């Protein structure tokens, strides 16, 4: 998925450049894109760590609790970091939030592309 993240960021950066040409340069568009991408990658890393921890427990209820708590803490953390950066006025909210949708776009595209085939995603 990493190559697609680079492609998505390139498309988003090109859109930011076009917006800058039309409305005037704003460096926060690009810092927001970088911050959003970093948060999305950190979220994926934490999902992986949580999944490993939940699988090691071998107890369904405990694994569900671990996953649920991690889910809540991850999103509280993401929105806290975004709120802090917005309060400091160092990012644009639109470009910071766009990368958080990359996984959904990627998996939707892959599913639609491979629909009806027996290949795994």
Residue 60 lies in a domain: yes
> Would you state the pLDDT for residue 118?
59
Range of 110's domain? Answer: 2-114
> Would you state the pLDDT for residue 65?
93
> Would you state the pLDDT for residue 23?
74
Kindly list the averaged pLDDT for each block of 10 residues, start to end, along the chain of length 121: 81 83 81 90 91 89 92 94 94 88 85 68 52
pTM, whole model, 2 decimals? Answer: 0.79
> Would you state the pLDDT for residue 120?
58
> What is the number of domains present in the chain?
1
> Would you state the pLDDT for residue 94?
86
> Would you state the pLDDT for residue 111?
81
> Would you state the pLDDT for residue 35?
92
Q: What is the DSSP string of 60-95?
A: HHHHHHHHHHHHHHHHHHHHHHHHHHHHTT-S-HHH
Q: Report the C-alpha gap between 79 and 74 in whole angstroms.
A: 9
Residue 26 lies in a domain: yes
Residue 121 lies in a domain: no
Residue 61 in tokens: 């209820």
Residue 56 lies in a domain: yes
Residue 120 lies in a domain: no
Report the Cα–Cα distance between both ends of the chain, in Å, rounded.
11
Residue 53 lies in a domain: yes
> Would you state the pLDDT for residue 88?
94
> Would you state the pLDDT for residue 29?
86
């Amino acid at each position: 998925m990493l190559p697609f993240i680079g492609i998505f960021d390139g498309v988003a950066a090109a859109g930011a450049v076009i917006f800058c040409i039309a409305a005037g340069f704003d460096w926060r568009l690009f810092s927001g894109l970088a911050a959003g991408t970093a948060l999305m990658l950190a979220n994926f890393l934490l999902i992986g760590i949580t999944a490993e921890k939940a699988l090691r427990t071998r107890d369904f209820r405990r694994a569900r609790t671990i996953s649920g708590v991690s889910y809540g803490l991850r999103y509280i953390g993401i929105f806290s970091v975004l709120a802090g950066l917005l309060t400091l006025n160092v990012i644009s909210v639109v470009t910071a939030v766009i990368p958080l949708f990359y996984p959904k776009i990627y998996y939707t595209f892959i599913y639609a592309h491979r629909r009806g085939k027996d290949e795994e995603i």
